[in-house]
């Protein structure tokens, strides 16, 4: 069972999309923040505040196995996950974050998306609240 916890966006005026991170994804994002990648987190705040659905095709892109990824140009880090409810896109579950190499997905990245699709389909995750 994969435990995910909610990312804190309490400093925003509104929150149309909630993000739930695994420990691995949380560590990857903390590392990215320490590196000072402001553009990634500024865009993430904007997407959370206005809703991920408003950024489909730009910061939010579909991937294989009915999965999605969040990323910004000039940053190779990607948050890979799925929407708990595809209709509302209100809760984004992020089992992993990784560094993308090149433009096309590698076979290893496609395996990551397959694993994420399995987590969604088999519901092998649970939301943990403090």
Note whether residue 129 is domain-resident: no
Rounded Cα gap, residues 82 and 37, in angstroms = 24
Going from the C-alpha of 19 to that of each of 22, 40, 127, the distances in angstroms are 10, 15, 11
pLDDT of residue 99: 92
Q: Are 61 and 55 in contact (CB under 8 A)?
A: no
Please give the structure tokens belonging to residue 13.
């005026």
Q: How many beta carbons lie within 10 A of that of residue 59, not counting itself?
A: 19
Note whether residue 38 is domain-resident: yes
pLDDT of residue 101: 81
Note whether residue 78 is domain-resident: yes
Q: How does pLDDT run along the chain (130 residues), one tens digit per residue?
A: 999 999 999 999 999 999 999 999 999 999 999 999 999 999 999 999 999 999 999 999 999 999 999 999 889 999 999 999 988 999 999 999 999 888 889 999 999 999 999 999 999 999 998 7
Overall number of domains in the chain: 1
Please give the structure tokens belonging to residue 123.
């519901």
Q: pTM of the full predicted structure?
A: 0.95
Note whether residue 120 is domain-resident: yes
pLDDT of residue 102: 81
Burial, 20: exposed, middle or buried (Cβ in 10 Å; 0-12, 13-18, 19+)? buried
CATH number at residue 77: 3.30.2310.20
Please give the structure tokens belonging to residue 12.
């925003």
């Amino acid at each position: 069972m994969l435990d995910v916890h909610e990312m804190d966006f309490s400093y925003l005026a509104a929150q149309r999309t909630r993000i739930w991170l695994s420990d691995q994804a949380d560590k990857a994002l903390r590392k990215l923040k320490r590196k000072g990648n402001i553009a990634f987190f500024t865009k993430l705040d904007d997407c959370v505040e206005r809703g991920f659905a408003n950024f489909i095709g730009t910061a939010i892109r579909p991937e294989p196995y009915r999965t999605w990824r969040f990323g910004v140009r000039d940053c190779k880090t990607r948050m890979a996950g799925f929407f708990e409810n595809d209709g509302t896109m209100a809760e984004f579950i992020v089992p992993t974050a990784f560094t993308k190499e090149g433009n096309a997905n590698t076979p290893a990245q496609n395996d990551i998306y397959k694993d994420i699709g399995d987590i969604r389909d088999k519901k092998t995750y649970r939301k943990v609240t403090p």
